[in-house]
Amino acid sequence: MNKNAKARWEEFSCPFFAATCRRILSDYLEQQGLFERKLTPAGEVVYGSINVFLEIGYEPETYPNYSPTIVLGIGPEKYDEGGRPSGVPFWYVIPNNLPERRYTFWKFTTQTDLESVLARIKDAILEPHARPLWLNLERLKKRIAEFRAEY
């Protein structure tokens, strides 16, 4: 990627995402045994344990009304050596009939908006839908395999 293309892409990054994510979610996730592993180039926060990763992020291309993203998987990265997903996005995991399925429409523009979105993600998605999967690796593997087969 040339310098100009990278500079243009960085214009779409959310400068307050990582700090806000840490403030709202890190204590909860650490209590669950998931610790911050890294930041992605876009500033998304990746948490993990020995076996799983949880990436809490956003879609920069939706600037300025960012859409949140959540991916849970097994291993250190979102994709394995063959380029296949090692995780599953939560729009795939949550049943169609639940309103949380549409979490990508919980847009944020400001830091205050993001705080509300992340608190809602913690209560409506991480605790009831993600936690049971990161605690049951066989169930998580099955969901990842289903996602791979379908997409």
Please name the residue that has the structure tokens 């969901």.
143
Arithmetic mean of pLDDT over the chain:
91
User: Tens digits of per-residue pLDDT, 106-136?
Assistant: 999 999 999 999 999 999 999 999 999 999 9
User: Tens digits of per-residue pLDDT, 89-102?
Assistant: 999 999 999 999 99
Question: How far is 21 from 2, CA to CA, in rounded Å?
Answer: 30
Number of domains in the chain: 1
Question: How far is 135 from 64, CA to CA, in rounded Å?
Answer: 35
User: Tens digits of per-residue pLDDT, 67-76?
Assistant: 999 999 998 7
Q: Does residue 5 carry a pLDDT above 50?
A: no
Q: Does residue 4 carry a pLDDT above 60?
A: no
User: Tens digits of per-residue pLDDT, 6-54?
Assistant: 456 677 899 999 999 999 999 999 999 999 999 988 889 999 999 999 9
Per-residue pLDDT, 43: 87
Per-residue pLDDT, 100: 93
Per-residue pLDDT, 1: 46
Whole domain around residue 135: which residue ranges? 3-150
For the CA atoms of 134, 129, 34, 70, the dihedral, rounded to the nearest 10 degrees, stands at 110
Question: How far is 61 from 80, CA to CA, in rounded Å?
Answer: 24
